Structure 1
Amino acid sequence: MSLADRRVGVAVDFSACSKEALRWTVNNVVRDGDHLILVNVLKEGQYEGGETQLWEASGSPLIPLSELPDPSIQRKYGIKPDPETLDIVNDLAKQKEVVIVLKVLYGDAREKLLEAVDHIPLSCIIIGNRGLGKIKRVLLGSVSNYVVNNASCPVTVVKLSQEG
């Protein structure tokens, strides 16, 4: 894969820490010619039947940035992108020659993020970290920790700054 074919993945769940990771990626990683792939993993119970069952195994097709604000697309894939996330990527699209798409996966975030790394495939992946306390991390298992230890590409973990 040449540098011109870089596929930069960012795990997004439209939370404060995923927006922080996205902002960091835009400011520090993304260059002209890159593909920015937003990877959104929905857990069981966050989506109901309908067409999402078609995508359960392989995930959604790559959804172009231009289609993300469309309510029918949001319903079809069970996504709820927030205005701030859309602003970040729309601003990037105006500033740099970057292809921006969203991939929706359904299931366990740890497994699905690794799948995205291998199947898209991603050159690197950036993940926000909520900074769970030690006890919660032991009980829940940190998604970022799992991906760092198991991904076949470089992983960057961006911590949510305390100001936000």
Structure 2
Amino acid sequence: MEEDKKKKQVMVAIDESECSHYALQWTLDNLHDTIVDSHLIIFTVQSAVDVGYIFATSYGSAPPELVTSIQERNKKVAVALLERAKDICSKHEIEAEPLMEIGDPKEKICEAVDKFNIQLLVLGSHGRGAIKRAFLGSVSSYCVNHAKCPVLVVKKND
């Protein structure tokens, strides 16, 4: 771990979207020489959807088995996502540390930046318009304004 403290800390936040995979690939293709000697963290966040609340307001209450099943499925998806990303990094001869949190993605990403002393955060851009961003929010916009490090937002050109 002493060796990691000397290395630059770079984090690529990913989700299931094509734009986040593009951001990871872009980072590996374009910043390879910069990050090859860095400590690269691949970070994903499982959304903490309150299934119990949804069912309680609609149907009375959610069976505990259903809640557990949904949580287990979400975890499997996140683990598979991280494994895929780690394999992509390996093909570029870059070792990456996969990390997963549960909660609100924008908040968890910024917390991880602080916790791991990240020096560069890379995110993909969903390319939403102003109206969708206003209603759905934007993780990348939030992180640009709140992360305590430089943030690189990679936008896929169509």
TM-score (norm 1): 0.70
- 1:161 and 2:154 equivalent? no
Given that 2:89 and 2:96 are in contact with CA atoms closer than 8 Å, whether structure 1 keeps it comes out as: yes
Which residue does 1:147 correspond to in 2? 143
Asked whether the equivalents of residues 16 and 160 of structure 1 are also in contact (C-alpha less than 8 Å), the reply is no
Conserved 8 A contact 1:14-1:85: no
User: 2:80 aligns to what?
Assistant: 80
- Unpaired runs of 5+ in structure 1? 53-73
- Aligned structure 1 segments of 4 or more residues deviating by more than 3 angstroms: 45-50, 82-87
Q: 5+ residue gaps in structure 2?
A: 52-66
Q: 2:38 aligns with which of 34, 39, 43?
A: 34
Corresponding residue for 2:57? none
Bigger proportion of residues as helix: 2
User: How many Å separate the matches in 2 of 1:121 and 1:14?
Assistant: 25
Counterpart code for 1:158? V
The TM-score normalised by the length of structure 2 is 0.73
Specify the code of the residue in structure 2 equivalent to 1:79: V
Q: 2: distance between equivalents of 1:38 and 1:144?
A: 16
Contact 2:89–2:95 (Cα < 8 Å) also in 1: no
Q: How many residues align?
A: 135
